[in-house]
Structure 1
């Protein structure tokens, strides 16, 4: 049996890999345990050598925030099923492969899995020799041939990111090489979707060779084609946020012409130019202000992300972020804020978050009570629980 542990956090990743190996999808641990027990019963009843010696392969994809939950499940699985094979992929496995092996996984795939996962599964099923337990995923050159998605999820249209944000795992997992799915292939996939949404590091970079500036011609070609048969079309909403410096009159005009957006989601991360430069964000506070004003002008609500507690962050840095947040709220926008966490595989993986001062926590709490901001910033990082690579 091949089984995927499906959660609300990994369904986009699983939906791309499941069609390549098939198998079973498990929404909870109880379902998985039941099927493993049934599989063992079938093997015990069978006299067929091939079936008796077949392996049950269970695949996980998870982020570092889900590590403790996954570890609990692995301990239960290992205790009750001695012969299962456990494979891990996703952000935590890619950033901290050695740590992932220590959790109890048999194999870890780093990065992209479309080629490497089916190959690994095939070798396990055929009892072939596997050289390494940590496997570097083979990147796909294009999306051609990878058009099956199940469970149905937003369609990935771009992979790779040219930016070097110190806190982000995306370029470490998918690299800086930009790959776009062809428009005809996108059309084939989304024809049965009522709401068309996308997965991409930056929705407004579609069609751009280096993804450092918009390709208006290619972007309009995509949206115009999809608008011919869609019920509702969204670009620049979760999970396809945009970068603030890509928001201009031309890109907003395309969204207003072809899409059903009521808002536009983008990351500011900080309201301080000094901090933006330090985290290598690649844009300025003025870019954020310009994006906010253009959204307001064009009757699109700006939804803006902020991170508090960056390494070496000062109270002055945070006050500038709060001032920018107040400006966004004044423009009828919304803010999502959360506390910095050092993620495996990033430039900041060995850095400690800066503890937030009481005044900042008080101000954010007051804004939250008024319904002006959402998120989680009260979590203070415990260095004794730091994830080791």
Structure 2
């Protein structure tokens, strides 16, 4: 029996628990860890969620011993991973059905060419094997004993109900990572997993999978209302409605039946991806929606007494002052219950990521100088102003105290530094 460590830097993400569960069921001794302290074993699976992790944890990972395997969203660009990390293997895309082959490779019983989805260094550069989607019927994840202390956007854990999204959003990795065909898990498997997570201490649950309402869908850009309702009902019977939420919903993938199910079986929140109030920017993002659809979706949700949050993107390449003001105007008009504002992040493998690689600094809002000396860029200024205004826009305005003002400034600056770093990484300048 081989001892293996599955490591995730900051949160027990679902993927790391799934990989650990697959290794456990193969008969290995598995330790799931959060953080890098005291890791000393021959084989380490490292799940990295964010591009920034490649530089943030570079020195720690490169000084680790043993056979090191990297997976997670960063695997979409193995070349970038190997540029920063001195690891033995990258598993591209879905990996839980490939861990057995990886263990055979680590033991010297096969060659890298024999491992599906593997990327590895050769004397000629980097070689990449063809990957394949995993079956949606799967083993139970390995659940850490301290799962109750996790808090990821208000949830102890995100439950993956399906994979894939038919959308074309230029800033999103989901279709590139999982494909555009929606593949849903058997409902009985999901419920069994939720029961075990709850028994292990998880308290608050969120549904993951890109666009939550796509569960059960077999049609392009369609929804299966019955399957979605059955999903919410089944999970809610285990967790209780107040402990279940469905984040990340497209405004063009809802219906009255869907919103009624969310109202009945969850904590009563919907999170819409609004992104922009400018039709030109929505078209550039290939979001596939209109500002009118956003307004209609918010009004429909309120008929079912749902609280509505919206995510918005600023500082997207090509966004001018007119487009930014249009976004502020729709945000003001909507008077949402909560707002999430982000500077556009160019993720590897996305159209946005490819665009910024060759974009000059004077065309990229994250580097364009602001006329206000308090800010380092146009993007930072827009993020700060939008975040500040969002406390006034919302259904119940929040007084802006000096403490809140400082947190907004810190958030805008943190996003600014993060996006600049990722951009330079994509451009090969860091």
TM-score by length of 1: 0.82
8 Å CA contact retained: 2:205, 2:243: yes
> After superposition, what is the alpha-carbon deviation per residue over 1:217-238, rounded to whole angstroms, capped at 9, x for unaligned?
222233334444443366653x
Q: Which residue of 2 aligns with 1:6?
A: 8
Alignment of 1:167-182 (within 5 A): 167-182=171-186
Q: Which residue of 1 aligns with 2:61?
A: 74
Q: Return the alpha-carbon distance in structure 1 between the equivalents of residues 129 and 300 of structure 2.
A: 45
Q: Residue 249 of structure 2 aligns to a residue in which SS? A: coil
> After superposition, what is the alpha-carbon deviation per residue over 1:144-172, rounded to whole angstroms, capped at 9, x for unaligned?
13344534643211101111111111111
The reply on whether 1:119 has 2:128 as its aligned counterpart is no
Q: Which residue of 2 aligns with 1:145?
A: 138
Structure 2 unaligned regions, length at least 5 = 25-29, 114-118, 121-127, 148-156, 357-363, 373-380, 393-397
8 Å CA contact retained: 1:338, 1:376: no
- Do the aligned partners of residues 362 and 148 (structure 1) sit closer, same or farther apart at CA in structure 2, a change above 3 Å counting? closer
- Do the aligned partners of residues 178 and 26 (structure 1) sit closer, same or farther apart at CA in structure 2, a change above 3 Å counting? same
Select the residue among 185, 190, 194 that pairs with 2:194. Answer: 190
Q: Residue 325 of structure 1 aligns to a residue in which SS? A: helix
RMSD across aligned positions (CA): 2.7
- Do the aligned partners of residues 135 and 60 (structure 1) sit closer, same or farther apart at CA in structure 2, a change above 3 Å counting? farther
Q: Which residue of 2 aligns with 1:280?
A: 286
> After superposition, what is the alpha-carbon deviation per residue over 1:35-71, rounded to whole angstroms, capped at 9, x for unaligned?
x1xx5xxxxxxxxxxxxxxx43343333202222221
The reply on whether 1:222 has 2:231 as its aligned counterpart is yes
Q: Which residue of 2 aligns with 1:44?
A: none
Q: Which residue of 1 aligns with 2:276?
A: 270
Structure 1 unaligned regions, length at least 5 = 40-54
> How many corresponding residue pairs?
357
Q: Which has the higher contact order (CA 8 A, sep 6+)?
A: 1
8 Å CA contact retained: 1:204, 1:236: no
Q: Which residue of 1 aligns with 2:89?
A: 107
8 Å CA contact retained: 1:13, 1:61: no
The reply on whether 1:385 has 2:424 as its aligned counterpart is yes
Q: Residue 16 of structure 1 aligns to a residue in which SS? A: helix
TM-score by length of 2: 0.75
Q: Return the alpha-carbon distance in structure 2 between the equivalents of residues 100 and 365 of structure 1.
A: 33
- Do the aligned partners of residues 66 and 360 (structure 1) sit closer, same or farther apart at CA in structure 2, a change above 3 Å counting? same
Alignment of 1:296-307 (within 5 A): 296-307=302-313
CA offset at residue 337 of structure 1?
0.4
- Do the aligned partners of residues 204 and 211 (structure 1) sit closer, same or farther apart at CA in structure 2, a change above 3 Å counting? farther
8 Å CA contact retained: 1:308, 1:377: no
Select the residue among 21, 24, 27 that pairs with 2:23. Answer: 21
Q: Which residue of 1 aligns with 2:27?
A: none
Q: Which residue of 2 aligns with 1:321?
A: 327
Q: Return the alpha-carbon distance in structure 2 between the equivalents of residues 341 and 73 of structure 1.
A: 25
CA offset at residue 107 of structure 1?
0.8
Select the residue among 346, 365, 377 that pairs with 1:354. Answer: 365
8 Å CA contact retained: 2:216, 2:227: yes
Q: Residue 363 of structure 1 aligns to a residue in which SS? A: helix
The reply on whether 1:251 has 2:232 as its aligned counterpart is no
Q: Return the alpha-carbon distance in structure 2 between the equivalents of residues 226 and 362 of structure 1.
A: 38
Q: Which residue of 1 aligns with 2:346?
A: 342
